[in-house]
Chains A and B, each alone.
Chain A
Amino acid sequence: MAETKRGGETGVRCVITTPESTVLDTRAEFISVPLFDGQRGIGRGHAPFVGRLGVGEVRITGEQGGAAGGLRRTFIEGGFVEVGHDEVTIITQRSIPAEKLDAAAARSDLEKLKAAPSRGDEAITARMRSEEAARALLRAAERKG
């Protein structure tokens, strides 16, 4: 079932929505999303699931209308992924296309976070989480260069 064409359409539909707008709606061969515990690949015919996302990159391979073997990378910060019938919906609060990432700004943000003091269990957990997000952003930004 997974390999057959349905309604003349191939690949998987991928939608990325943020509270402000739908930033991406495309069809692609393969999509890799950053789940809370690591990257997960989704191809055609994947079983439906809903997953919590971590911080990292969505990699979209073989986008239709794009260059052959092209790879589109988008940085996202948390949210959810819903995999339905050959449709991947990524719901996130923040999404930045890889081209717009700024490694220098990401690095200075991380330094600032590291320098800021935090007291109490909750503050430390929150700080660790934001530091992790800043590191992931920096990693994604550096990969671009």
Chain B
Amino acid sequence: MAKARALDRRRKSVKNIRKITRTMELIATARFKKAMDRSVASRDYTLRLAKILENIAAASAGGADGSEGGAALGFSHPLLEVRPTKRTAVLVLTGNRGLCGGYNSNIVRQAQAILGQWRSEKVGVHTAVSGKRGISALKFRGVDIDERYLQFEDKPEFEQVAPIGRAYLEAYASGQIDRLDVVYTRFDSIARQAAVTEMLLPLKPPEAPSGAAREAAAAKAAAAGLASDDYDFYPSAQSILEEILPASFMARLFKCFLDSAVSEQVARMVAMKAASENAGGLIKDLSRRYNRARQSQITGEIMEILGGVEALKK
């Protein structure tokens, strides 16, 4: 009976674990939906900022007869300036909790790659890590962490991200860092998320829309009986650019945090679904083994009784 009872006990414990993983899956699904809504809601801001940047770029290109255009556009801004990297900053975004498959370990691996690369190039690195998991994993691997953030859960707020962004902007402006890389999990779709390293500073210069696109936009405006989209800038394009570049940096940084939050929930959802399914399989297997053990035990007992009866007959 001992073996059958042990199997039954194990089956019960697996059933309990399945209940937990199933609940976690449902929670992750609900959180994913909320995180996804937030991420979608924030897209509008980035799109509109990009549109203004595009307008400024177009206006500058127009000023230069539209013939040159390209990346230069006559813009000059400290955030666009590419300097030789003497000191760099790396921000690693991981989760505070585990049980989400390879989510945290993928980021840690990616972070180690870039940190190793900077070390081999003998560049000083300021390392900031968000999330308990990343902090402990990198500490274990002997990485010196200069800044730790634990306040980001599944709903990162702009008010929380803004001070971090401002600190990076100040450090960049004062020359304390020459580059900022963010290691995070980019959310491409519900089926695909990838751990990536993205350079946020220096910013990529805005590009003017191509000649054809501008003509199409002008033709559309003319067809609708409107004046063409020639914008005035108050106080000046340069002044707006000075304000808009930090704003677009902040928006991109915020997007990294939002993407990480969404990806974490997706990873947890998938991991917990797999765990629940696996537990189901295990329960099936254990049940079969338990039934077999019980049956063979009964058979053994019957054989014993029969043996006893036979012995008594003699």
Contacts and interface: CB of A to CB of B under 8 A. Distances in A.
Contact of B42 (A19, A52, A91): A19
A51 interface: yes
Interface string B109-146: 00000000000000000000000000000000000000
A17 B235 CA distance: 21
A6 B243 CA distance: 34
A97 interface: no
A52 B51 CA distance: 15
Given A49-B232, A50-B234, A51-B234, A18 B45 contact: yes
Interface string B83-114: 00000000000000000000000000000000
A35 interface: yes
Which interface class (under 10, 10 to 19, 20 to 34, 35 or more) fits B? 20 to 34
B44 interface: yes
Nearest to A20: B158
Contacts of A43: none
A67 interface: no
Given A19-B158, A50-B52, A91-B48, A85 B221 contact: yes
A84 B229 contact: yes
Contacts of B282: none
Contact of A82 (B51, B239, B250): B51
B233 A17 contact: no
A82 B221 contact: no
A48 B235 contact: no
Nearest to A82: B52
A93 B158 contact: yes
A79 B247 contact: yes
Contacts of A49: 231-234
Interface residues of A, number: 26
B41 A20 contact: yes
A19 B234 contact: no
A37 B254 CA distance: 29
A80 interface: yes
A80 B52 contact: yes
B240 interface: yes
A22, A49, A50 — most chain B CB neighbours (10 Å): A50
B218 interface: no
Interface string B30-53: 000000001001101100110110
Contacts of B239: 52
B251 interface: yes
Contact of B49 (A1, A22, A36, A91): A91
A50 B232 CA distance: 6
A89 interface: yes
Interface in A83-102: 84-85, 89, 91, 93
Contacts of A91: 45, 48-49, 52, 247
A121 to B, nearest CB: 13
Contact of B227 (A17, A37, A47, A52): A47
A98 to B, nearest CB: 20
B234 A52 contact: yes
A20 B44 contact: no
Interface in A23-74: 35-37, 47-52
4 closest A-B pairs (Cβ-Cβ)? Answer: A21-B41, A51-B234, A49-B232, A19-B158
Interface of B: 38, 41-42, 44-45, 48-49, 51-52, 55-56, 157-158, 162, 221, 224-227, 229-235, 239-240, 243-244, 247, 250-251, 254
